[in-house]
Amino acid sequence: MPITFEHVEHVYGADTPFHYAALVDVNLNIPLGKVTAIIGQTGSGKSTLVQHLNALLLPSQGKLTVLDKTIEAGKTTKGLKSLRGRVGLVFQFPEYQLFEETVLKDIAFGPKNFGVKEEEANQKAIEAMKLVGLDRELLERSPLELSGGQKRRVAIAGILAMNPEVIVLDEPTAGLDPQGTIEMMELFRKLNKTYHKTVLIVTHDMEQVFRYCADVIVMEKGSVRLHTSVKEFFHDGSLCRSMHILPPALIQFREQLTAAGYVIDDSVVTMDELASVIAGQVKSHG
């Protein structure tokens, strides 16, 4: 069953002078088993949307179904704690999730909170650290003393240690260097392809969306403007530009070559493929 939103609205500061509608009549079906990007301008409702997925926020109106839980505005839903173990959310700012004395305790907190014994929880934490590329020498360090990139890896490891079915990541590569960004995005791809996790990524990076995601959801002013495949979204760059989004570099280059008379098929999605196509046609372009 997909994750569904039906006429979901969320209002901050209801019945106060600070009333703000962050989500407005959101209707959405998010398929399981894919890597889906959620994009949009700052303030478009991306973070508010994903915080509904494990009931950190509840709808002011409408209802949503996540896995086998239906959450409806104004109604009490049982089993929300178990849902938070099945849907892991990594915040945009990792400091919000780090609070224990050591890295080991912080990563192991989630499993222990769901009834896993300490020894097993610690083993899960160590395995999660290895997955995200953290050295074991950091086990006894305070997570708050780490670099920004290390803090983000600890926060992600803390979610992975719970082995959730759905992994939600809000700007997961912020603070990482280029190599760290590639490693982290390859990890998310592996979690999807090898471990069959559903991965949702809130991002502003169109290169990441193009290279790693199957679907894309565009948020605008609290509503879903578009939900489509990444292939369709980046078909020729015009759709991106109509939303004031700069297409990935390869799409821009492909457009320039097409304008110069080269015949570039939409199936060309890597620089190596593009170079091969150019090499085959360069003589005819003198």
CA distance 192 to 281: 37
Contact 72, 59 (CB under 8 A): yes
CA distance 92 to 107: 17
| pLDDT for position 78 | 84
Distances from the Cα of 221 to the Cα of 4, 40, 48, 228, 278, angstroms: 19, 9, 12, 18, 41
CA distance 270 to 141: 41
The secondary structure of the chain as a DSSP string is --EEEEEEEEEESTTSTT-EEEEEEEEEEE-TTSEEEEEESTTSSHHHHHTTTTTSS--SEEEEEETTEEEETTS--S-HHHHHHHEEEE-SSGGGT--SSSHHHHHHHHHHHTT--HHHHHHHHHHHHHHHT--GGGTTS-GGGS-HHHHHHHHHHHHHTT--SEEEEESTTTT--HHHHHHHHHHHHHHHHTT--EEEEE-S-HHHHHHH-SEEEEEETTEEEEEEEHHHHTSSSHHHHHTT-PPPHHHHHHHHHHHTT----TT--SHHHHHHHHHHHGGGG-
Instruction: Give tens-digit pLDDT for 158-184.
Output: 999 999 999 999 998 887 888 888 988
CA distance 130 to 104: 12
CA distance 236 to 50: 29
Tokens of 261: 């008379």
The position carrying tokens 């996790």 is 197
37 Cβ contact list (under 8 Å, min separation 6): 200, 201, 202, 203, 208, 209, 213, 215, 216, 217, 230
Low-confidence ranges of the chain (pLDDT < 70): 1, 283, 285-286
| pLDDT for position 285 | 67
| pLDDT for position 68 | 87
Instruction: Give tens-digit pLDDT for 74-115.
Output: 888 888 888 999 999 998 887 778 889 999 999 999 999 999
| pLDDT for position 283 | 67
